[in-house]
Structure 1
Amino acid sequence: MSPFISSADLAATDLGRHVRSTTTVGDALDDTVAGLFADYATALRTGRTDVAQLIRDHAEAIDPALVDELAGFDYPAAA
């Protein structure tokens, strides 16, 4: 979830203003990518290949290199 959405309810508080003033574009993008990986893992684990494909399509729109990372993130690491 976007840190801006979660901080919208808190925008009138000191915490909300702090989050909005200190969150960089890079931080927001990192949160978005992390969320994509978590959602993708959940979709694969639950057998929702349709949702996994939607996530891959969204990832491609953000950065085409993310699609390759999603395709290989759940392979066992080589020893």
Structure 2
Amino acid sequence: MILEGIVMSPFLFDADLGVTGLGLRARSSATVADVSDAYAAQLIGEYRDAVAAGRLDVMQLIRDHAAAIDPLLLDELDGFDYPAAA
């Protein structure tokens, strides 16, 4: 999420919960696909917020990061605000 122009990752916060019983159960049941999907959704949400705020610099940082982790994610960012086809 973007707070005052800073991109924050919920995964940093979740790392603190990993030592609890609940955190250990969540980490043991999460698949790589689940985490990848959640991270892609987070990036798209952050990109949406950056677009809404007119933050071209943050948009470019997110696009650069997306290209490094999954080039197909750039297609998602390019088309996330287009109206859906009927």
Separation in structure 2 between the aligned mates of residue 2 and residue 26 of structure 1, nearest angstrom: 17
Q: How does 1:1-79 map to 2 (within 5 A)?
A: 1=9, 3=11, 5-79=12-86
Separation in structure 2 between the aligned mates of residue 8 and residue 39 of structure 1, nearest angstrom: 20
TM-score by length of 1: 0.85
* Alignment-mate amino acid for residue 62 of structure 2: I
5+ residue gaps in structure 2?
A: 1-8
Higher relative contact order, structure no. (Cα contacts within 8 Å, ≥ 6 residues apart): 2
5+ residue gaps in structure 1?
A: none
What is the CA deviation profile of residues 50-76 of structure 1, one whole-angstrom value per residue up to 9, with x for unaligned ones? 111110111111111111111011012
More helix by share: 1
C-alpha root-mean-square deviation of aligned residues, in Å? Answer: 1.6
The count of residues paired between Structure 1 and Structure 2 equals 78
More strand by share: 2
